[in-house]
Structure 1
Amino acid sequence: MATAFPLADSRTSEHPEQQYLDLMRRIWTAGSERVDRTGVGTRSVFGATLRFDLADGAMPLITSKRVYWKTATRELLWFLTGETNIRPLVLQGVHIWDDWPHARYVRETGDDVSIERFIERIEQDETFAEQWGDLGPVYGKQWVDWPTYRYRPDGLYEPGQGINQVAEVVLSLRENPGSRRHIIEGWNVAELDRMALPPCHKTYQFHVADGKLNGLLYQRSCDVALGLPFNLWSAALLQRMLAQQADLEPGEFVWMGGDVHLYLNHAELIEEQLSREPQGRPRLGFVRRPASMFDYRIEDFEVSNYTPLGALKAPVAV
C-alpha cells in the first residue's frame, strides 16, 4: 500500500489524495481573490507542496472524480516526440490543447468558426493544420530539442544541434546517479513569446537514493480543479518511466506549486468534489520495457484498482 504522508495536522492514516482535497479547500475558503490573465478571476494561494509515495506501483491518480489517465498519457507521449502541432493529438481524440489554436485562428482571421468545425478541419486538412494547429515551441520542443546557437567568425550566429534533455537525464541517472543536475526545464525565456501558453509545469528534477528514483515537479501556475489531476498523473508517470529506463525503483514524488488557484466559474465542480471521499488506491503496471524513453505506447501501461467517482466538468480558461 502507498504510504500516506502526514499533513500539517499530523494525520497519518488518511488517503494520500486527501492532501489534494485539503489544498482545494484551503484555496476556496481562504485564497486571495484576484483578477487573472483570462479575465475569469481566481482564488489563489502562493506556495504549496504535495508528496506521494510511488512504491509498489502507487500513483497520484485522483479518485474523487474521474481522471482520464489515458488522455493525460497520450499528451505526455506527444511531448516526448517533440511535436508542437495539435493534429497528432486530435487524431487520437485528445482535445486538451484545442482552445488555444482556435482562439488564435478566430483572432487573426476574424472567422468566428465554432471550435467543433475548427477541429474538424484540423483533422481533415493537413495543410490547414500545419498553418493553424501549431502551438509554438511548447513543452515537447524544449524537452527534446532545446535550441542552441553557433557563433560564426563574422559575429553572427546560426542554429546548432538541439539538446534532448530527456535523453541526457536518462544517461546521467545511469552513469552519475549522485548528480544534482538531473533536470528537465521547459522555461526557455528566449522563446516564451512564441508559445501559445508558457509552460506551467516548468521544472522537473530527479534524485537517486538507496536505489530509488525520487522526482520533483515545480509548477509556476496551477489550475487545481482541472489541471492538477492531469499534472500529478503525468509527472508521476514520467518519473516511473525514467525509473524503468534507469533500472531504479520508484521513490517519492513531490509536487510544488507557485501560484496555485481555482477559477471562480468552477464553483459547482469544486463544491461537489469537496463533498466526496477518495476511493481505492490506484496502481500502475508496465506491460513491457521499451528500448528507450521515446518508444513507449499507450498499450504499455496498465492501471488497476481505479474506481473513481463520476466525472466533473467545467470550462477551460484560455
Structure 2
Amino acid sequence: MASRLAPSDSLLDHPEWQYLDLMRRIWEHGDERVDRTGVGTRSVFGAQLRFDLSGGRMPLLTTKRVYWKTATREFLWFLTGDTNIRALCAQGVEIWTDWPLDRYRRETGDPIERADFSRRIVEDADFAARWGDLGPVYGRQWVDWPVYEPAGEGLFRQRAGGVNQVAQVVESLRNNPGSRRHIVEGWNVAELDAMALPPCHKTYQFHVAGNRLNGLLYQRSCDVALGLPFNLWGAALFIRMLAQQCDLEPGELVWMGGDTHLYLNHADLVEQQLARTPSGAPRLELIRRPDSIFDYAISDFVVHGYEPQKALSAPVAV
C-alpha cells in the first residue's frame, strides 16, 4: 500500500488528502462484508469531509479525472424533476442507464448491448416511456414531493403539483436566512420501493453565517471510488448555485457518510489512486446568473485550472 507522499508544504495541505486518507482507511481497516449487489465491500460507518468553497474553489479531484460536465448535467436534470433517462442519454450521460438496462434484460431476455439500448431510448419515445423511467428518484422528490388530500369516504387523492423543496429553500434563504429548516430531502419512505435505487445522497441542509452559505450533505450509502467524486461536486455545485441566487458568498461544504465503502472489485483503481499526489486548485466560474435556480444551462459553468491525472475506471455495482 502506498504511503502519503507530498513534495511541498502546499501539497501537504491540499484538501484532496481528506478523500485519499478516507479511501486508505476504508481499504486497510474497513469491515469486509457482503452487500446488496453481491460484489462485496470494505466499509466504515460515519465519515466526514470538509471543503472551503470560497474564491471559486471546488472539491474536484485531481488524482483522477472527474467528468464534471457529466456530473453537472446530471444535477441540472435533477432540478427538472424528470425521472426518465432519455434526456440524459441524449446528452451522452450514461450514469443511470445500467439500472433500466438491467431490468430490460431480465424481463425480456434480450441481451442488448448498452450502447444500443441507450440509442433506442433516445430514438424511440414509446420505448423510453416503457423502459427508461427510474421511478420517483431524486429530482421528483426535490421539486415535486407528492402531497395527498382527502377525497371523501376515507379515500385520498394526490394533489396536482407537489412540494418544490428547492424553490422553498431559495425563498427561505432569501427571507429567513437564520432558519434551521433549509433542507432538501430525498428519502420519501412511502415511495422507496418504486425507485430504481433509493437515494444515496439523501439529505441536504444549508446554513447562513454572515454572508456565507454553508451546505451539508448526508449520504446514507457511499461508493467512495466512483460515486463520491460526483457527489462532492454536485453538493458543492448546489451551494454555489444557491449562493448566487440568494446574493450570498459560498462558504463550506460539509460531507457526511453513513455506510462509506469501497467495492472489492475496485482494488486496481484504489491502489493506483492512492499512489498519486494531488495537485492544482481547480475553480468554478458561474458566467451567468439566470432568473431562477431552475434555469441554469451547462454553458453557464466554466472550470479553470483543472489538470487532473489520468482517468481510472472500475465496474459499477448495480
The alignment's TM-score, normalised by the length of structure 1, stands at 0.95
Alignment of 1:162-173 (within 5 A): 162-173=162-173
Cα shift readout 1:44-67 (whole Å, capped 9, x = no counterpart): 000000000101000000000000
**2-side partners of 1:63 and 1:298: how far apart?**
21
Q: Residue 106 of structure 1: CA displacement? A: 1.1
Correspondence 1:256 to 2:267: no
Aligned counterpart, 2:134: 135
Q: Residue 13 of structure 1: CA displacement? A: 5.0
Aligned counterpart, 2:41: 42
Aligned counterpart, 1:53: 52
Aligned counterpart, 2:240: 240
Identity of aligned residues (%): 72
Cα shift readout 1:69-114 (whole Å, capped 9, x = no counterpart): 0000000000000000000000000000010000011112222222
Aligned counterpart, 2:3: none
**1-side partners of 2:206 and 2:85: how far apart?**
29
Aligned-partner residue type, residue 79 of structure 2: L
**2-side partners of 1:196 and 1:123: how far apart?**
19
**2-side partners of 1:37 and 1:13: how far apart?**
37
**1-side partners of 2:266 and 2:97: how far apart?**
20
Aligned-partner residue type, residue 181 of structure 2: R
Aligned-partner residue type, residue 184 of structure 1: V
Aligned counterpart, 1:87: 86
Higher mean displacement: 105-114 or 306-315? 105-114
Q: Do the aligned residues in 2 keep the contact of 1:279 with 1:309 (CA within 8 Å)?
A: no
**1-side partners of 2:112 and 2:63: how far apart?**
35
Q: Do the aligned residues in 2 keep the contact of 1:35 with 1:41 (CA within 8 Å)?
A: yes
**2-side partners of 1:13 and 1:213: how far apart?**
27
Q: Residue 119 of structure 1: CA displacement? A: 1.3
The alignment's TM-score, normalised by the length of structure 2, stands at 0.95
Aligned-partner residue type, residue 60 of structure 2: L
Aligned counterpart, 2:216: 216
Higher mean displacement: 225-234 or 108-117? 108-117
Alignment of 1:23-42 (within 5 A): 23-42=22-41
Cα shift readout 1:10-33 (whole Å, capped 9, x = no counterpart): x99510000000000000000000
Superposition CA RMSD, Å: 1.1
Aligned counterpart, 2:5: none
Aligned-partner residue type, residue 50 of structure 2: R
Aligned counterpart, 1:5: none
Alignment of 1:298-313 (within 5 A): 298-313=298-313
Cα shift readout 1:245-302 (whole Å, capped 9, x = no counterpart): 0110000100000000000000000000000001201101111100001000000011
**2-side partners of 1:98 and 1:162: how far apart?**
26
- Secondary structure, in 3 states, of the residue corresponding to 1:141? helix
**2-side partners of 1:108 and 1:201: how far apart?**
29
Correspondence 1:77 to 2:76: yes
Give the number of aligned pairs.
308
Aligned counterpart, 1:156: 155
**2-side partners of 1:167 and 1:316: how far apart?**
33
Gap regions ≥5 residues in structure 2: 1-9
Cα shift readout 1:132-156 (whole Å, capped 9, x = no counterpart): 0000000000000000000123221
Cα shift readout 1:205-228 (whole Å, capped 9, x = no counterpart): 000011100000000000000000
**1-side partners of 2:127 and 2:152: how far apart?**
40
- Secondary structure, in 3 states, of the residue corresponding to 2:221? strand
Q: Do the aligned residues in 2 keep the contact of 1:52 with 1:252 (CA within 8 Å)?
A: yes
- Secondary structure, in 3 states, of the residue corresponding to 2:152? coil
**2-side partners of 1:80 and 1:184: how far apart?**
12
**2-side partners of 1:142 and 1:188: how far apart?**
7
Aligned counterpart, 1:281: 281
Higher mean displacement: 80-89 or 101-110? 101-110
**2-side partners of 1:210 and 1:129: how far apart?**
47
Correspondence 1:21 to 2:37: no
**2-side partners of 1:153 and 1:137: how far apart?**
26
**2-side partners of 1:13 and 1:205: how far apart?**
30
**2-side partners of 1:12 and 1:284: how far apart?**
20
Aligned-partner residue type, residue 276 of structure 2: R
